[in-house]
Structure 1
């Protein structure tokens, strides 16, 4: 499997398909990608550094089995993890007493407007088709307070090109196109990161500030 953080999908059709695909392979996913020790060191460093700069509650969109959510919550920070997969949420709740976890998707986040200081969307929005990604970004923008920060992980490639992810179909994004879409949703990109590990797809990450 690829090293993504979890699953989100749209409100009709793709949510059901994405959730069902991750439900069916949840145990396998947790075994292969459910612990921080299995994640790339560069990712752990980036997410930890980003977390430490956040002020206020955080939201982990597409939290999967909750390992990144738990990292965000270290030190008693307030974090909610959401995912469309009921099996992923069940696994997260068993493995972690805190933080809290809830089943939800990126286009209907269960938190009030402007209530979050930071949102992590780590390789989860890759499952939103191109025509639905702006809606997901707008919803993340809605829940972030002005000045709040988004850390977004994705696979770099031809913008909007579909590929066969190990669990369920996903889409590549170019940094240039993502920056345009983020600007339309009210964000200013502050950092860009890229790496290409042997035998894997090109990785990308962006830190964007809610204007």
Structure 2
């Protein structure tokens, strides 16, 4: 934390510090209630394992439930979160895994260190003008051939919340355009692999997008990373299998390239104690 960090970083940290216990209870069983999310997480994990494995990081790991889920899928994964309260909670809940404080706007990781990176509903707190910098950070820390998985809610207007779980907060949740996200990823140097658009449910009228992308491998005959850098072990001509979406969403293996105020913020579902049944 520095005196010059942006207000949105400070507000996001303070908000999640305040609601950490309630939020952790809400999302504790999130993978069990999200078959489409599990499908994409499983695909991501299979890609990383098939590529040869290597370290993976979840950015915005919160109380650690998704990091732990990916660990059960055979990944060497750790978590990074902005909130020290969330990090402490994740360490207590999953002592076998590593969790650290950090921000996606300035990752304290070496160049080319990772085989995979997951940002599961965490880029939604980044102001739009900083998204290109964040994706450049993701590209920097991934090894050639490294995999990226993003999840976010789809829309145009941000939502601002002054209160959550009875706590005063100052949190903005930004819904994003999948086409814009894909364009920014390509500008950062990624190759989109697949995107899945989950259409609204009766109990959750907000569409969601899941995006897989890859940092390209070096062209044949060019030099890769220096011998001192860790890198993902990836076959040069690995072919990605087609992606099939379960019922309720659409999948594409080759994708095309003023705030609303409320009192309880949305994540994958709205952050209230009745979030598993109430609409967003």
TM-score computed with the length of structure 1 as normaliser: 0.88
Q: Distance in 1 between matches of 2:119 and 2:27?
A: 16
**What are the residue-to-residue correspondences of 1:150-169 with 2, within 5 Å?**
150-158=148-156, 161-164=157-160, 168-169=171-172
What's the counterpart of residue 54 of structure 2?
Answer: 56
1:152–1:206 contact (8 Å) kept in structure 2: yes
Structure number with the higher helix fraction is 1
Choose from 176, 179, 202 the match for 1:198.
202
Structure 1 range deviating more: 65-74 or 192-201: 192-201
Runs in 1 of length 4+ with deviation above 6 angstroms?
Answer: none
- Corresponding position: 1:85 with 2:83: yes
Choose from 91, 94, 114 the match for 2:92.
94
- Give RMSD over aligned pairs: 1.8
Aligned residue-pair number:
200
1:33–1:39 contact (8 Å) kept in structure 2: no
2:31–2:66 contact (8 Å) kept in structure 1: no
Q: CA deviation at 1:194?
A: 1.1
Secondary structure of the equivalent of 2:58? strand
Q: Distance in 2 between matches of 1:12 and 1:111?
A: 20
Choose from 182, 185, 189 the match for 1:182.
185
1:119–1:144 contact (8 Å) kept in structure 2: yes
Q: Distance in 2 between matches of 1:28 and 1:209?
A: 34
What's the counterpart of residue 35 of structure 1?
Answer: 29
